[in-house]
Amino acid sequence: MALDRTLPGIQTLKHVVVLMMENRSFDHMLGALKATHPNIDGLTGNESNPDTTGAQVKVQPLAEYQSQLDPDPNHHFAAVNLQIFNNTQHGPPLPPTMQGFIASYFNQQQNTAHSHDILYYFTPDKLPVLTTLATQYATFNRWFASIPGPTICNRAFAHYGTSFGQVSMDVFYEGKPFQAIYNRLLAANHTCKLFYYDEASSTMEVVNLLQNQPSLFGTFQDFLNACKQSALPDYCFIEPNYTDHPAPDGSGEAIACDQHPDHDVRAGEQFIAQVYNAIRTNPNLWPNTAILLVYDEHGGIYDHVPPPACPPDTPFIAQPADTGTLDSFAFDRLGVRVPAILISPWVAAGTVINDVFDHASIPATVSDFFQLPNAPRSQRETNANTFLNNLTLTTMRADNECPSFVVQPANS
């Protein structure tokens, strides 16, 4: 659907900020909201998977911040096949039953009791930032990972609109036909930046953008400074801290805030709040900035919604040697559903979006909004839905109608 440029929120909009977190499924983080917000497609409490004894195990609100999903649940292509189709070797035409999550996690430790943890989900009180943003702005009921696979190929869709045929972590794009959204923006005289947390965490775009265009990057502190100075680039992509490490500037401990298992989820909550606060508290930015908070993939954690088919990413096909299954993959179906929230004072509280999105929607939306000149784009990006039409309000929400967060210091 074409962007309605008569919307006041679109006429005001100047900046788009994308924050991409790590490895949590929709139901794991937001599924409990269905009890109080029935239009959010979360959990009823009756969803289940069989364990390896044949017992049906129900989802439970027992997710913990840390130490529960260790080892890291497998989320490579074959494991995700098992999770979705209950079969490691074949996908469609098998039905996507979402019945293989416990079986997949059991494979890692052969521990029946521990394998049940993959069905655990958070109660809203444990995730005050994420659940407040979800209920106070717009929640996507159907935002899926771009590929039923791991991080780097999924993140590639956010940058390029494709992974150039890769379903793994080894994504090398040199000499490939489609340019990153950053190159397209720069060519059209727009400003843009990828903000990694710090140089010790750096980026997952190592072999491509960091190697070839290091000037595209800044740190999270640079992002905060840009917000403070009302000097935000037109488009910003933010990466969280991927490791626990001593801060490179010597100021203390930098705790991982990506929410990747087994990192503490609370650190990610604080990080999300910091990004939000930096924009929300600046009256020069808040009216004219849209924030997309999204997770890169489900991390092997249970979700109940079968991923849909999508137009193939012609001409790319991953061969069985790459998928680790007996099937090739034409990038013609999406990965598991992830949390995604659109934040803007022009979005009505309690909005729920039911159209299908994936990370190719990010460059598609940015290209559309900034009216970038036509450039070669992947089939997946060409066919992806865009999301800024959800800035539907005719009047901006008042300050006291928008939530604010107070980030508490660590003290024990």
Partner 1 sequence: MDPISVPAPPRSAYNPNRRVSDLLYSQLQHFQHIEKKRGDLGIDPAIAANIHTEGGAAIYIAAVTNALRGTTSNSALPVPATTAAKKSAPPRKAPKKSTQKSTRKR
Output 187 or 407, the one with its CB closest to partner 1.
407
Phi-psi region of 57 (alpha: psi -120 to 50; beta: other; left: phi over 0): beta
Q: Which of 35, 207, 305, 317 binds partner 1 (CB under 8 A)?
A: 207
Position 109 contacts partner 1 (CB under 8 A): no
Candidates 34, 87, 244, 332: give the one binding partner 1 (CB under 8 A).
244
Q: What is the DSSP letter of 139?
A: E
Q: Does 186 bind partner 1 (CB under 8 A)?
A: no
Among 10, 94, 188, 224, binds partner 1 (CB under 8 A): 224
In 3-state terms, what secondary structure has residue 309? strand
239 is a site residue for partner 1 (CB under 8 A): no
Taking CB under 8 A as the binding criterion, the range among 52-60, 149-157, 158-166, 301-309 that sits at the site for partner 1 is 149-157
Residue from 33, 98, 129, 353 that binds partner 1 (CB under 8 A)?
129
Interface map 288-327 toward partner 1 (x if CB under 8 A): ----------------------------------------
Distance linking the first and last C-alpha atoms of the chain: 50
- Which residues does 211 contact at the CB level (< 8 Å), separation at least 6? none
State which residue, 273 or 352, has the beta carbon closest to partner 1.
273
Structure token pair of residue 380: 């997946």
Q: What is the closest distance, in whole angstroms, from the C-beta atom of residue 72 to partner 1 in the complex? A: 5
Smallest distance from the beta carbon of 412 to partner 1, in angstroms? 6
4 vs 170 by CB, closer to partner 1: 170
Site size with partner 1, rule: CB under 8 A? 74
CA distances in angstroms from 207 to 83, 169, 172, 202, 217, listed in the order given: 30, 11, 7, 12, 14
Give the DSSP per-residue string, 38-66.
TTS----S--EEE-TTS-EEE-BS---SS
| 65, 269 contact by CB (below 8 A) | no
Residues in the chain: 412
Q: How far is the CB of 47 from partner 1 (least distance, A)?
A: 27
ω into 71 cis (within 30 of 0): yes
351-353 and 138-140 beta bridge pairing:
parallel
- Footprint on residues 258-277 left by partner 1 (CB under 8 A): 260, 262-264, 266-267, 269-271, 273-274
The verdict on 170 binding partner 1 (CB under 8 A) reads yes
Q: Which of residues 61-90 bind partner 1 (CB under 8 A)?
A: 65-66, 72
Question: DSSP string covering 8-29, please?
Answer: HHHHH--EEEEEEE-S--HHHH
The single residue among 36, 39, 56, 221 that binds partner 1, judged by CB under 8 A, is 221
Verify binding: residue 202, partner 1, rule CB under 8 A.
yes
**In the complex, what is the shortest distance from the CB of residue 66 to partner 1, in angstroms, rounded to a whole number?**
6
DSSP symbols for 173-236: -TT-SS--HHHHHHHTT--EEEEES-TTT--S-IIIIIHH-GGGEEEHHHHHHHHHTT---SEE
Phi, psi of 286 (to 5 degrees): -55, -45
CB 109, min distance to partner 1, A? 15
Write down the least CB distance from residue 194 to partner 1, Å. Answer: 12
The contact pattern for partner 1, residues 18-47, with x = CB under 8 A and - = no contact, is ----xx------------------------
Residue 291, strand partner residues: 17, 343
d(CA 98, CA 115): 15
Span near partner 1 by CB under 8 A; candidates 86-94, 148-156, 320-328, 331-339: 148-156
